[in-house]
Amino acid sequence: MTGPALLVVEQLSVDLPTPRGRLRAVDEVDLELAAGHTLGIVGESGCGKTMLSRAILQLAPRRARLSGRVLFDGRDLTRLDAEALRRLRGRSIAVVFQDPMTSLNPVLTIGRQLSETMREHLAIDGSAAARRAVELLAEAGIPAPEQRLRQYPHQLSGGMRQRVAIAIALSCEPRLLIADEPTTALDVTIQAQILDLLARERQRRDMAMILITHDLGIAAGRTDEVAVMYAGRIVERAPTARLFKAMRMPYTEALLAAIPKLDAPPHTPLPAISGRPPDPTRPFPGCAFALRCRCCAERCAEQKPALTPADAYRHQYACWHPINPIGA
Partner 1 sequence: MPARRGRLIFWLAVGWIVVVGSAAIAADWLPLASPSDMDLLARRAGPSADHWLGADALGRDILSRLVFGARISLTVGLVAPLLGLVIGGTLGMLAGYFRGLFETLVVGGIDVLLAFPPLVLALAITTYLGQSVLNITITLGVLSIPALTRVARAATLTFAEREFVTAARALGASHGRILMRELLPNIALPLIAFFLLAVAVIIVVEGALSFLGLGVPPPAPSWGGMIAEGRDSLDTAPSIAFLPASTMFLTVLAFNMVGDRLRALTDPRPGAS
Q: What stretch of H or E contains 257?
A: helix 250-257
Q: Which stretch binds partner 1 (CB under 8 A): 94-102, 258-266, 304-312, 320-328?
A: 94-102
Cβ(54)–Cβ(241) under 8 Å? no
Q: Cβ 93 to partner 1, closest distance in Å?
A: 8
91 near partner 1 (CB under 8 A): yes
Pairing of strands 65-72, 75-76: antiparallel
Name the packing angle between helices 126-139 and 158-170 (round to 10°): 130
Contact between 177 and partner 1 by CB under 8 A: the answer reads no
Rounded to a whole number of angstroms, the distance between the first and last alpha carbons of the chain is 23
Residues from 59 through 88 that contact partner 1 (CB under 8 A): 59, 62, 86-88
Residue numbers 179-218 binding partner 1 by CB under 8 A = none
Give the residue, chosen from 31, 40, 97, 286, that forms a contact with partner 1 under the rule CB under 8 A: 97
Shortest distance (Å) from residue 119 CB to partner 1: 10
Stretch that binds partner 1, among 34-42, 73-81, 96-104, 126-134 (CB under 8 A): 96-104
As beta bridge partners, residue 209 has 38, 177
Q: How far apart are CA 41 and CA 181, in angstroms?
A: 10
Site string for partner 1, 122-141 (x = CB under 8 A): --------------------
Residue 180's H or E segment, with its range, is strand 176-180
How many chain residues bind partner 1 (CB under 8 A)? 28
Site for partner 1 contains 165 (CB under 8 A): yes
Please state the closest distance from residue 155 (CB atom) to partner 1, in A. 16
Candidate list 3, 74, 106, 260; residue touching partner 1; CB under 8 A: 106
Closer by beta carbon to partner 1, 133 or else 169: 169
Residues in a beta bridge with 13: 67
Closest CB to partner 1 among 34 and 122? 122
Query: In what helix (H) or strand (E) does residue 213 lie, and over which residues does it extend?
Result: strand 208-213
Across the beta sheet with 208-213, the strand order is 93-96, 176-180, 208-213, 38-42, 225-230, 233-239, 316-317
* Smallest separation, CB 103 to partner 1 (Å): 4
3-class state of residue 160 by DSSP: helix
Radius of gyration of the chain (CA): 21
Residues in the site for partner 1, rule: CB under 8 A? 54, 57, 59, 62, 86-91, 94-95, 97, 99, 102-108, 116-117, 120-121, 165, 168-169
